[in-house]
Structure 1
Amino acid sequence: MRLTPTERDRLLIFTAAELARARRARGLRLNVPEAHALIADTVCEAARDGRRLTEAIDLARGVLGPDDVLPGVVDIVGEVKVEAVFDDATRLAVVTDPFRSAEHAGALPTPTDRACHTGGSRTGGFAAPRLAAAAPGSLGTEAPGAILFGDAPTDPFADSDVVTLDVENTSPVPVGVTSHFHFFEANPRLRFDRAAAYGRRAAIPAGSTVRFDPGATVAVGLVPIGGARIAIGFAGLVDGPLDAPGAKEEALRRAHACGYLDTNNPGAASEPRIYKAPGSRGSQEFPEPPEPPEPRESSEPPEAPGSAGSPEDPKTREGDVG
Protein backbone atom coordinates (compact mmCIF):
# COMPACT_ATOMS: atom_id res chain seq x y z
CA MET A 1 0.00 0.00 0.00
CA ARG A 2 1.50 3.27 -1.13
CA LEU A 3 0.60 6.30 0.99
CA THR A 4 1.42 9.96 0.53
CA PRO A 5 2.92 11.95 3.42
CA THR A 6 -0.49 13.58 3.98
CA GLU A 7 -2.17 10.19 4.22
CA ARG A 8 0.45 8.95 6.68
CA ASP A 9 -0.18 12.01 8.84
CA ARG A 10 -3.91 11.30 8.71
CA LEU A 11 -3.34 7.75 9.92
CA LEU A 12 -1.13 9.02 12.74
CA ILE A 13 -3.89 11.38 13.90
CA PHE A 14 -6.46 8.58 13.68
CA THR A 15 -4.28 6.18 15.68
CA ALA A 16 -3.73 8.75 18.45
CA ALA A 17 -7.43 9.61 18.43
CA GLU A 18 -8.40 5.93 18.81
CA LEU A 19 -6.03 5.68 21.77
CA ALA A 20 -7.68 8.77 23.27
CA ARG A 21 -11.16 7.28 22.78
CA ALA A 22 -10.11 4.02 24.45
CA ARG A 23 -8.65 5.80 27.46
CA ARG A 24 -11.62 8.11 27.73
CA ALA A 25 -13.93 5.06 27.67
CA ARG A 26 -12.01 3.70 30.68
CA GLY A 27 -12.75 6.92 32.57
CA LEU A 28 -9.31 8.51 32.15
CA ARG A 29 -8.86 12.23 31.57
CA LEU A 30 -6.94 13.07 28.42
CA ASN A 31 -3.60 14.84 28.16
CA VAL A 32 -2.49 17.42 25.58
CA PRO A 33 -1.59 15.16 22.61
CA GLU A 34 -4.65 12.97 23.17
CA ALA A 35 -6.95 15.98 23.22
CA HIS A 36 -5.27 17.39 20.12
CA ALA A 37 -5.66 14.13 18.23
CA LEU A 38 -9.31 13.56 19.16
CA ILE A 39 -10.39 17.09 18.20
CA ALA A 40 -8.44 17.00 14.92
CA ASP A 41 -9.78 13.56 14.03
CA THR A 42 -13.34 14.77 14.61
CA VAL A 43 -12.81 17.52 12.03
CA CYS A 44 -11.31 15.13 9.48
CA GLU A 45 -14.10 12.57 9.87
CA ALA A 46 -16.77 15.26 9.59
CA ALA A 47 -15.17 16.43 6.36
CA ARG A 48 -15.09 12.83 5.09
CA ASP A 49 -18.82 12.55 5.82
CA GLY A 50 -19.50 15.50 3.52
CA ARG A 51 -20.07 18.19 6.14
CA ARG A 52 -19.10 21.81 5.55
CA LEU A 53 -16.21 23.57 7.28
CA THR A 54 -18.32 25.40 9.86
CA GLU A 55 -20.21 22.22 10.73
CA ALA A 56 -16.98 20.27 11.23
CA ILE A 57 -15.63 22.95 13.56
CA ASP A 58 -18.83 23.00 15.62
CA LEU A 59 -18.68 19.22 16.00
CA ALA A 60 -15.03 19.39 17.12
CA ARG A 61 -15.89 21.99 19.77
CA GLY A 62 -18.41 19.65 21.35
CA VAL A 63 -16.39 16.46 21.49
CA LEU A 64 -14.57 17.32 24.75
CA GLY A 65 -15.32 19.41 27.79
CA PRO A 66 -13.07 20.79 30.55
CA ASP A 67 -13.92 17.79 32.74
CA ASP A 68 -12.64 15.36 30.09
CA VAL A 69 -9.03 16.54 30.20
CA LEU A 70 -6.29 16.79 32.80
CA PRO A 71 -5.74 20.04 34.75
CA GLY A 72 -3.87 22.58 32.65
CA VAL A 73 -4.85 21.15 29.26
CA VAL A 74 -7.52 23.83 28.79
CA ASP A 75 -4.84 26.49 29.33
CA ILE A 76 -2.36 24.93 26.92
CA VAL A 77 -4.65 23.87 24.08
CA GLY A 78 -6.27 27.16 23.22
CA GLU A 79 -6.59 26.33 19.54
CA VAL A 80 -6.37 23.29 17.25
CA LYS A 81 -5.49 23.54 13.56
CA VAL A 82 -5.81 20.70 11.07
CA GLU A 83 -6.06 20.41 7.28
CA ALA A 84 -9.05 18.32 6.23
CA VAL A 85 -10.23 17.17 2.80
CA PHE A 86 -13.74 18.50 2.16
CA ASP A 87 -15.90 17.81 -0.88
CA ASP A 88 -14.86 21.04 -2.60
CA ALA A 89 -11.22 21.40 -1.49
CA THR A 90 -8.65 20.85 1.22
CA ARG A 91 -9.19 23.48 3.88
CA LEU A 92 -7.51 24.51 7.10
CA ALA A 93 -9.89 24.16 10.02
CA VAL A 94 -9.12 26.31 13.05
CA VAL A 95 -10.96 25.15 16.15
CA THR A 96 -10.97 27.89 18.78
CA ASP A 97 -12.31 27.18 22.28
CA PRO A 98 -12.00 23.44 21.58
CA PHE A 99 -13.42 22.38 24.97
CA ARG A 100 -16.79 24.10 24.65
CA SER A 101 -18.96 21.00 24.94
CA ALA A 102 -22.76 21.22 24.94
CA GLU A 103 -23.11 21.32 28.72
CA HIS A 104 -20.33 23.90 28.99
CA ALA A 105 -21.35 26.08 26.06
CA GLY A 106 -20.90 29.74 26.94
CA ALA A 107 -18.94 29.00 30.11
CA LEU A 108 -15.55 29.71 28.59
CA PRO A 109 -14.38 33.20 27.67
CA THR A 110 -14.01 34.37 24.11
CA PRO A 111 -10.81 33.55 22.18
CA THR A 112 -9.47 37.08 22.63
CA ASP A 113 -9.75 36.74 26.40
CA ARG A 114 -8.39 33.21 26.67
CA ALA A 115 -4.67 33.73 26.45
CA CYS A 116 -1.78 35.81 25.33
CA HIS A 117 0.25 33.82 22.81
CA THR A 118 3.15 34.29 20.43
CA GLY A 119 2.73 33.47 16.79
CA GLY A 120 -0.36 32.35 14.99
CA SER A 121 -0.93 28.92 16.51
CA ARG A 122 -1.22 28.25 20.20
CA THR A 123 -0.13 24.67 19.64
CA GLY A 124 3.44 25.97 19.44
CA GLY A 125 4.60 29.02 21.38
CA PHE A 126 2.00 29.46 24.10
CA ALA A 127 2.78 32.20 26.58
CA ALA A 128 1.32 33.62 29.77
CA PRO A 129 -2.29 32.44 30.14
CA ARG A 130 -4.82 35.05 31.15
CA LEU A 131 -7.84 32.84 31.82
CA ALA A 132 -10.32 33.99 34.39
CA ALA A 133 -10.10 32.08 37.64
CA ALA A 134 -13.74 30.92 37.25
CA ALA A 135 -13.22 29.41 33.78
CA PRO A 136 -13.92 25.65 33.90
CA GLY A 137 -10.72 23.62 33.70
CA SER A 138 -8.43 26.62 34.03
CA LEU A 139 -5.63 26.79 36.58
CA GLY A 140 -5.41 30.58 36.36
CA THR A 141 -1.98 31.89 37.31
CA GLU A 142 -0.87 28.33 38.11
CA ALA A 143 -1.43 27.19 34.52
CA PRO A 144 1.48 25.74 32.51
CA GLY A 145 3.32 28.51 30.71
CA ALA A 146 2.30 31.21 33.16
CA ILE A 147 4.88 33.91 33.85
CA LEU A 148 5.80 34.03 37.52
CA PHE A 149 7.53 37.21 38.65
CA GLY A 150 10.18 36.84 41.33
CA ASP A 151 11.70 39.39 43.65
CA ALA A 152 13.43 42.49 42.39
CA PRO A 153 16.63 41.61 40.48
CA THR A 154 19.84 41.94 42.44
CA ASP A 155 22.86 43.93 41.30
CA PRO A 156 25.20 41.51 39.46
CA PHE A 157 28.17 43.71 40.35
CA ALA A 158 27.39 44.01 44.07
CA ASP A 159 30.43 41.93 45.04
CA SER A 160 32.75 43.41 42.39
CA ASP A 161 35.42 46.07 42.71
CA VAL A 162 33.49 48.93 41.10
CA VAL A 163 35.19 52.25 40.36
CA THR A 164 32.94 55.16 39.35
CA LEU A 165 34.38 57.75 36.98
CA ASP A 166 32.93 60.94 35.51
CA VAL A 167 33.21 60.71 31.72
CA GLU A 168 32.75 63.82 29.56
CA ASN A 169 32.05 63.60 25.85
CA THR A 170 33.81 66.53 24.18
CA SER A 171 32.91 65.46 20.64
CA PRO A 172 29.94 66.87 18.67
CA VAL A 173 28.46 63.39 18.12
CA PRO A 174 27.19 60.70 20.51
CA VAL A 175 29.71 58.07 21.59
CA GLY A 176 28.85 54.53 22.68
CA VAL A 177 31.08 52.08 24.55
CA THR A 178 30.09 48.42 24.72
CA SER A 179 30.13 46.29 27.85
CA HIS A 180 33.43 44.44 27.36
CA PHE A 181 35.46 47.16 25.65
CA HIS A 182 38.69 48.06 27.46
CA PHE A 183 37.43 51.39 28.76
CA PHE A 184 40.95 52.82 29.03
CA GLU A 185 41.15 52.71 25.22
CA ALA A 186 37.73 54.24 24.61
CA ASN A 187 37.18 57.16 22.22
CA PRO A 188 39.99 59.76 22.52
CA ARG A 189 37.39 62.55 22.76
CA LEU A 190 36.09 61.15 26.04
CA ARG A 191 37.71 62.97 28.96
CA PHE A 192 38.15 60.88 32.13
CA ASP A 193 40.80 59.41 34.40
CA ARG A 194 42.54 57.03 32.01
CA ALA A 195 44.85 55.55 34.64
CA ALA A 196 41.92 54.60 36.88
CA ALA A 197 40.14 52.98 33.92
CA TYR A 198 43.11 50.81 32.94
CA GLY A 199 42.24 47.11 32.92
CA ARG A 200 38.52 47.76 33.45
CA ARG A 201 35.26 47.59 31.52
CA ALA A 202 31.84 49.15 31.98
CA ALA A 203 29.72 47.63 34.75
CA ILE A 204 26.74 46.98 32.48
CA PRO A 205 25.11 43.74 31.26
CA ALA A 206 26.95 41.84 28.53
CA GLY A 207 26.12 43.09 25.05
CA SER A 208 24.71 46.43 26.17
CA THR A 209 26.15 49.89 25.55
CA VAL A 210 26.67 52.99 27.63
CA ARG A 211 25.92 56.16 25.65
CA PHE A 212 27.52 59.56 25.99
CA ASP A 213 25.65 62.45 24.38
CA PRO A 214 27.61 65.40 22.99
CA GLY A 215 28.84 67.64 25.80
CA ALA A 216 27.34 65.44 28.51
CA THR A 217 29.11 64.10 31.59
CA VAL A 218 28.06 60.63 32.72
CA ALA A 219 29.09 58.75 35.86
CA VAL A 220 30.14 55.27 34.75
CA GLY A 221 30.91 52.29 36.96
CA LEU A 222 33.89 50.19 35.90
CA VAL A 223 34.81 46.66 36.98
CA PRO A 224 38.06 44.74 36.40
CA ILE A 225 38.32 42.72 33.20
CA GLY A 226 38.21 39.03 34.05
CA GLY A 227 39.71 35.94 32.53
CA ALA A 228 43.34 35.94 31.40
CA ARG A 229 43.30 39.77 31.29
CA ILE A 230 44.84 40.07 27.83
CA ALA A 231 43.78 43.08 25.74
CA ILE A 232 44.31 42.53 22.02
CA GLY A 233 43.08 45.06 19.50
CA PHE A 234 40.75 47.81 20.71
CA ALA A 235 42.77 51.00 20.05
CA GLY A 236 46.12 49.19 20.04
CA LEU A 237 47.39 50.91 23.18
CA VAL A 238 48.11 47.65 25.04
CA ASP A 239 48.05 44.64 22.69
CA GLY A 240 49.14 42.21 25.35
CA PRO A 241 48.75 41.18 29.00
CA LEU A 242 47.25 43.98 31.07
CA ASP A 243 49.25 43.10 34.18
CA ALA A 244 52.66 42.71 32.53
CA PRO A 245 55.46 44.80 34.11
CA GLY A 246 55.42 48.31 32.67
CA ALA A 247 52.35 47.65 30.49
CA LYS A 248 50.21 50.30 32.17
CA GLU A 249 52.91 52.98 32.01
CA GLU A 250 53.60 52.26 28.34
CA ALA A 251 49.89 52.34 27.51
CA LEU A 252 49.51 55.71 29.23
CA ARG A 253 52.50 57.05 27.31
CA ARG A 254 51.00 55.91 24.02
CA ALA A 255 47.62 57.39 24.89
CA HIS A 256 49.11 60.78 25.78
CA ALA A 257 51.29 60.73 22.66
CA CYS A 258 48.20 60.15 20.52
CA GLY A 259 46.28 62.94 22.26
CA TYR A 260 43.78 60.92 24.29
CA LEU A 261 42.00 63.28 26.67
CA ASP A 262 42.84 62.56 30.31
CA THR A 263 41.78 64.44 33.43
CA ASN A 264 45.10 63.53 35.07
CA ASN A 265 47.19 64.92 32.22
CA PRO A 266 46.91 68.72 32.40
CA GLY A 267 49.50 69.12 29.67
CA ALA A 268 47.35 67.32 27.12
CA ALA A 269 45.83 69.33 24.31
CA SER A 270 42.23 70.46 24.66
CA GLU A 271 41.38 68.43 21.57
CA PRO A 272 43.03 65.18 20.47
CA ARG A 273 44.98 65.20 17.23
CA ILE A 274 42.71 63.47 14.72
CA TYR A 275 43.47 62.45 11.18
CA LYS A 276 41.51 60.61 8.52
CA ALA A 277 43.06 57.43 7.23
CA PRO A 278 43.79 57.45 3.48
CA GLY A 279 40.88 55.98 1.58
CA SER A 280 38.54 56.12 4.59
CA ARG A 281 34.87 56.87 4.04
CA GLY A 282 32.70 59.41 5.84
CA SER A 283 33.90 60.57 9.25
CA GLN A 284 36.15 57.59 9.97
CA GLU A 285 38.72 59.23 12.25
CA PHE A 286 41.63 57.85 14.24
CA PRO A 287 44.07 59.25 16.81
CA GLU A 288 47.04 60.76 15.04
CA PRO A 289 50.04 58.45 15.40
CA PRO A 290 53.41 59.80 16.53
CA GLU A 291 55.50 61.25 13.71
CA PRO A 292 58.11 58.82 12.38
CA PRO A 293 61.78 59.77 12.89
CA GLU A 294 63.47 61.71 10.08
CA PRO A 295 65.85 59.67 7.87
CA ARG A 296 69.56 60.11 8.51
CA GLU A 297 71.75 61.83 5.92
CA SER A 298 75.13 60.29 5.15
CA SER A 299 78.12 62.60 4.63
CA GLU A 300 79.86 60.09 2.32
CA PRO A 301 79.19 60.55 -1.42
CA PRO A 302 77.55 57.60 -3.17
CA GLU A 303 79.86 55.35 -5.11
CA ALA A 304 79.67 55.48 -8.87
CA PRO A 305 78.17 52.45 -10.62
CA GLY A 306 80.81 50.00 -11.78
CA SER A 307 83.55 51.52 -9.63
CA ALA A 308 86.12 49.36 -7.91
CA GLY A 309 85.01 47.64 -4.75
CA SER A 310 81.26 47.89 -5.53
CA PRO A 311 79.00 45.65 -7.57
CA GLU A 312 77.93 46.91 -10.97
CA ASP A 313 74.50 48.54 -11.10
CA PRO A 314 72.13 46.01 -12.68
CA LYS A 315 70.16 48.78 -14.40
CA THR A 316 73.34 50.15 -15.99
CA ARG A 317 74.38 46.67 -17.07
CA GLU A 318 70.99 46.07 -18.62
CA GLY A 319 71.14 49.39 -20.44
CA ASP A 320 74.56 48.63 -21.89
CA VAL A 321 73.34 45.48 -23.53
CA GLY A 322 72.79 46.40 -27.14
Structure 2
Amino acid sequence: MNLTPTEIERLTLFSAAEMARRNLREGILLSHPEVVALLADEVMLAARKNLAYDAVIDHATTLLRAEQCEPGVPDMVRIVAVDAPFPDGTKLVTLIDPIAPAANDIRPGEVIVGDDPVELFPGAERVTLTVVNRGDRDIQVRSQAHFFETNPALEFDRRASWGHKLDVPSGGGVRFEPGIPVDVQLIPMAGARVAQGFSGLVDGALDADGALEAAMTGGAS
Protein backbone atom coordinates (compact mmCIF):
# COMPACT_ATOMS: atom_id res chain seq x y z
CA MET A 1 0.00 0.00 0.00
CA ASN A 2 1.49 3.29 -1.09
CA LEU A 3 0.40 6.34 0.90
CA THR A 4 0.92 9.98 0.14
CA PRO A 5 2.29 12.30 2.87
CA THR A 6 -1.22 13.72 3.29
CA GLU A 7 -2.67 10.24 3.81
CA ILE A 8 0.03 9.41 6.37
CA GLU A 9 -0.79 12.60 8.26
CA ARG A 10 -4.47 11.67 8.17
CA LEU A 11 -3.68 8.29 9.74
CA THR A 12 -1.59 9.97 12.45
CA LEU A 13 -4.44 12.37 13.20
CA PHE A 14 -6.91 9.48 13.35
CA SER A 15 -4.68 7.57 15.77
CA ALA A 16 -4.43 10.59 18.07
CA ALA A 17 -8.20 11.11 17.87
CA GLU A 18 -8.81 7.45 18.74
CA MET A 19 -6.55 7.84 21.77
CA ALA A 20 -8.63 10.84 22.82
CA ARG A 21 -11.83 8.83 22.43
CA ARG A 22 -10.33 6.00 24.50
CA ASN A 23 -9.34 8.46 27.22
CA LEU A 24 -12.85 9.91 27.25
CA ARG A 25 -14.31 6.43 27.72
CA GLU A 26 -11.90 5.84 30.61
CA GLY A 27 -12.73 9.16 32.22
CA ILE A 28 -9.28 10.63 31.56
CA LEU A 29 -9.14 14.37 31.01
CA LEU A 30 -7.93 15.33 27.55
CA SER A 31 -4.71 17.21 26.87
CA HIS A 32 -4.36 19.99 24.31
CA PRO A 33 -3.07 17.72 21.47
CA GLU A 34 -5.81 15.17 22.14
CA VAL A 35 -8.52 17.82 22.00
CA VAL A 36 -7.21 19.26 18.73
CA ALA A 37 -6.87 15.80 17.17
CA LEU A 38 -10.40 14.79 18.15
CA LEU A 39 -11.96 17.99 16.84
CA ALA A 40 -10.01 17.86 13.56
CA ASP A 41 -10.83 14.19 13.01
CA GLU A 42 -14.54 14.77 13.61
CA VAL A 43 -14.56 17.72 11.20
CA MET A 44 -12.92 15.65 8.47
CA LEU A 45 -15.26 12.72 9.06
CA ALA A 46 -18.34 14.95 8.96
CA ALA A 47 -17.13 16.51 5.72
CA ARG A 48 -16.62 13.07 4.15
CA LYS A 49 -20.20 12.24 5.19
CA ASN A 50 -21.32 15.24 3.13
CA LEU A 51 -22.76 17.22 6.01
CA ALA A 52 -23.44 20.84 5.19
CA TYR A 53 -20.65 23.27 6.08
CA ASP A 54 -22.60 24.87 8.93
CA ALA A 55 -23.65 21.45 10.20
CA VAL A 56 -20.01 20.37 10.38
CA ILE A 57 -19.20 23.36 12.58
CA ASP A 58 -22.27 22.81 14.74
CA HIS A 59 -21.31 19.18 15.21
CA ALA A 60 -17.69 19.86 16.13
CA THR A 61 -18.47 22.64 18.61
CA THR A 62 -20.78 20.41 20.66
CA LEU A 63 -18.42 17.44 21.05
CA LEU A 64 -16.55 18.39 24.20
CA ARG A 65 -17.25 20.07 27.52
CA ALA A 66 -14.69 21.93 29.59
CA GLU A 67 -14.90 19.38 32.39
CA GLN A 68 -13.67 16.68 29.97
CA CYS A 69 -10.36 18.53 29.46
CA GLU A 70 -7.31 19.25 31.54
CA PRO A 71 -7.46 22.60 33.37
CA GLY A 72 -6.69 25.50 31.04
CA VAL A 73 -7.05 23.48 27.83
CA PRO A 74 -10.37 25.02 26.65
CA ASP A 75 -8.80 28.46 26.75
CA MET A 76 -5.77 27.21 24.78
CA VAL A 77 -7.99 25.86 22.00
CA ARG A 78 -9.34 29.18 20.78
CA ILE A 79 -9.18 28.48 17.02
CA VAL A 80 -8.97 25.16 15.17
CA ALA A 81 -8.67 25.40 11.38
CA VAL A 82 -9.02 22.23 9.29
CA ASP A 83 -8.80 21.68 5.52
CA ALA A 84 -11.74 19.29 5.27
CA PRO A 85 -12.40 17.02 2.24
CA PHE A 86 -15.99 17.75 1.18
CA PRO A 87 -17.33 15.87 -1.86
CA ASP A 88 -17.22 19.09 -3.89
CA GLY A 89 -13.68 19.96 -2.87
CA THR A 90 -11.51 20.88 0.08
CA LYS A 91 -12.79 23.70 2.26
CA LEU A 92 -11.28 25.41 5.28
CA VAL A 93 -13.41 24.81 8.38
CA THR A 94 -12.64 27.16 11.26
CA LEU A 95 -13.86 26.44 14.77
CA ILE A 96 -13.90 29.46 17.10
CA ASP A 97 -13.83 28.69 20.84
CA PRO A 98 -15.11 25.13 20.30
CA ILE A 99 -14.98 24.42 24.05
CA ALA A 100 -16.57 26.99 26.29
CA PRO A 101 -14.66 27.38 29.59
CA ALA A 102 -16.53 26.13 32.63
CA ALA A 103 -17.61 28.51 35.35
CA ASN A 104 -14.71 29.62 37.55
CA ASP A 105 -12.16 28.09 35.18
CA ILE A 106 -8.65 29.48 35.61
CA ARG A 107 -7.34 30.84 32.33
CA PRO A 108 -3.64 30.45 31.47
CA GLY A 109 -1.82 33.63 32.44
CA GLU A 110 -4.82 34.93 34.36
CA VAL A 111 -4.12 37.30 37.24
CA ILE A 112 -6.33 36.55 40.22
CA VAL A 113 -6.58 39.41 42.69
CA GLY A 114 -8.32 39.84 45.99
CA ASP A 115 -11.47 41.81 46.67
CA ASP A 116 -9.65 44.87 47.97
CA PRO A 117 -8.22 47.46 45.56
CA VAL A 118 -4.49 47.21 44.89
CA GLU A 119 -2.57 50.45 45.31
CA LEU A 120 0.35 50.85 42.95
CA PHE A 121 3.57 52.18 44.44
CA PRO A 122 2.12 53.37 47.76
CA GLY A 123 3.83 56.42 49.17
CA ALA A 124 5.75 57.26 45.99
CA GLU A 125 5.99 60.94 45.08
CA ARG A 126 4.44 61.57 41.68
CA VAL A 127 5.72 63.94 39.01
CA THR A 128 3.35 65.00 36.23
CA LEU A 129 4.86 65.96 32.87
CA THR A 130 3.37 66.94 29.54
CA VAL A 131 4.95 64.99 26.67
CA VAL A 132 4.68 65.82 22.95
CA ASN A 133 5.90 63.47 20.25
CA ARG A 134 7.66 65.67 17.68
CA GLY A 135 8.40 62.70 15.43
CA ASP A 136 6.36 61.35 12.52
CA ARG A 137 5.35 57.99 14.00
CA ASP A 138 3.96 56.58 17.22
CA ILE A 139 6.37 56.03 20.11
CA GLN A 140 5.61 53.61 22.93
CA VAL A 141 7.33 53.76 26.32
CA ARG A 142 7.16 50.74 28.61
CA SER A 143 6.83 50.60 32.38
CA GLN A 144 10.47 49.77 33.14
CA ALA A 145 12.08 52.49 30.98
CA HIS A 146 14.11 55.28 32.55
CA PHE A 147 11.93 58.07 31.22
CA PHE A 148 14.86 60.50 30.92
CA GLU A 149 16.40 58.22 28.27
CA THR A 150 13.33 57.74 26.09
CA ASN A 151 13.21 58.57 22.38
CA PRO A 152 14.70 62.03 21.63
CA ALA A 153 11.62 62.83 19.52
CA LEU A 154 9.64 63.08 22.77
CA GLU A 155 9.63 66.65 24.03
CA PHE A 156 9.26 67.16 27.79
CA ASP A 157 11.17 68.38 30.83
CA ARG A 158 14.00 65.86 30.74
CA ARG A 159 15.67 67.20 33.85
CA ALA A 160 12.49 66.70 35.90
CA SER A 161 12.21 63.10 34.67
CA TRP A 162 15.67 62.06 35.88
CA GLY A 163 15.55 58.83 37.85
CA HIS A 164 11.84 58.28 37.16
CA LYS A 165 9.68 55.77 35.31
CA LEU A 166 6.02 55.62 34.32
CA ASP A 167 3.46 55.23 37.09
CA VAL A 168 1.84 52.20 35.44
CA PRO A 169 1.63 48.48 36.30
CA SER A 170 4.63 46.34 35.40
CA GLY A 171 4.49 45.39 31.72
CA GLY A 172 2.24 48.32 30.83
CA GLY A 173 3.12 51.39 28.84
CA VAL A 174 2.00 54.63 27.22
CA ARG A 175 1.75 55.34 23.49
CA PHE A 176 2.55 58.82 22.20
CA GLU A 177 1.05 59.79 18.84
CA PRO A 178 2.74 62.51 16.77
CA GLY A 179 1.82 66.04 17.81
CA ILE A 180 -0.64 65.12 20.55
CA PRO A 181 0.24 66.33 24.10
CA VAL A 182 -0.03 63.60 26.72
CA ASP A 183 0.15 64.12 30.49
CA VAL A 184 1.96 61.32 32.26
CA GLN A 185 2.71 60.57 35.88
CA LEU A 186 6.17 59.41 36.84
CA ILE A 187 7.49 57.85 40.03
CA PRO A 188 11.08 57.51 41.25
CA MET A 189 12.87 54.32 40.27
CA ALA A 190 13.41 52.26 43.41
CA GLY A 191 15.86 49.58 44.51
CA ALA A 192 19.55 50.23 43.95
CA ARG A 193 18.68 53.05 41.50
CA VAL A 194 21.16 51.88 38.90
CA ALA A 195 20.19 52.35 35.23
CA GLN A 196 21.90 50.11 32.70
CA GLY A 197 21.22 50.10 28.98
CA PHE A 198 18.31 52.17 27.66
CA SER A 199 20.00 54.99 25.66
CA GLY A 200 23.32 54.53 27.41
CA LEU A 201 23.20 58.00 29.00
CA VAL A 202 23.58 56.73 32.56
CA ASP A 203 24.90 53.17 32.72
CA GLY A 204 25.45 53.51 36.41
CA ALA A 205 24.10 54.97 39.63
CA LEU A 206 21.36 57.55 39.15
CA ASP A 207 22.31 59.35 42.36
CA ALA A 208 26.03 59.58 41.64
CA ASP A 209 27.58 63.07 41.72
CA GLY A 210 27.42 64.69 38.29
CA ALA A 211 25.43 61.85 36.68
CA LEU A 212 22.54 64.08 35.61
CA GLU A 213 24.72 66.81 34.15
CA ALA A 214 26.85 64.26 32.30
CA ALA A 215 23.72 62.67 30.83
CA MET A 216 22.33 66.06 29.78
CA THR A 217 25.59 66.77 27.98
CA GLY A 218 25.46 63.31 26.43
CA GLY A 219 22.53 64.10 24.17
CA ALA A 220 19.22 64.35 26.05
CA SER A 221 17.27 67.54 25.48
Q: TM-score, normalised on structure 2? A: 0.52
Select the structure of larger CA radius of gyration: 1
Corresponding residue number in structure 2 for 1:142: 105
- Aligned positions, number: 192
**Structure 2, gaps ≥5 residues long:** 135-140
Structure 1 gaps, min length 5: 96-120, 132-137, 256-285, 288-322
Whether the 8 Å CA contact 2:161–2:186 is kept in 1: the answer is no
Residue number in structure 2 paired with 1:116 = none
Matched with 1:9 is 9
Q: Secondary structure at the match of 2:12?
A: helix
**Percent identity between the aligned chains?**
24
State the alpha-carbon separation in 2 of the partners of residues 230 and 66 from structure 1: 49
Could you say if the C-alpha distance between residues 73 and 13 of structure 1 is closer, same or farther in structure 2, counting changes exceeding 3 Å? farther
Code of the aligned partner of 1:201: H
Deviation at 1:73, TM superposition (A): 7.8
1:92 counterpart residue number: 92
How far off is 1:223 after superposition? 5.0
Q: CA RMSD, aligned part only? A: 5.4
Counterpart of 2:103, as a letter, is: G
Indicate which of 180, 190, 207 corresponds to 2:146.
180
TM-score by length of 1: 0.40
Residue 10 of structure 1 and its aligned partner are, at CA, apart by 1.6
1:156 matched residue in structure 2: 121
Partner Cα separation in structure 1 for residue 14 and residue 24 of structure 2: 15
Map residues 216-235 of structure 1 onto 2, 5 A cutoff: 222-223=188-189, 226-227=193-194
Query: Quick one: distance in 1 between partners of 2:55 and 2:184?
Result: 66
Q: Distance in 2 between matches of 1:231 and 1:57?
A: 50
**Aligned AA (1:40):** A
More relative contact order, 1 or 2 (CA 8 Å, 6+ apart): 2
CA contact (8 A) 1:201 1:222 kept: yes
DSSP 3-state at the match of 1:156: coil
Looking at structure 1, the residues matched to 49 and 155 of structure 2 have their Cα atoms a distance apart, in angstroms, of: 77
Matching of residues 202-281 of structure 1 within 5 Å: 202=165, 204-205=167-168, 208=174, 222-223=188-189, 226-227=193-194, 243-244=208-209, 247=210, 251=213
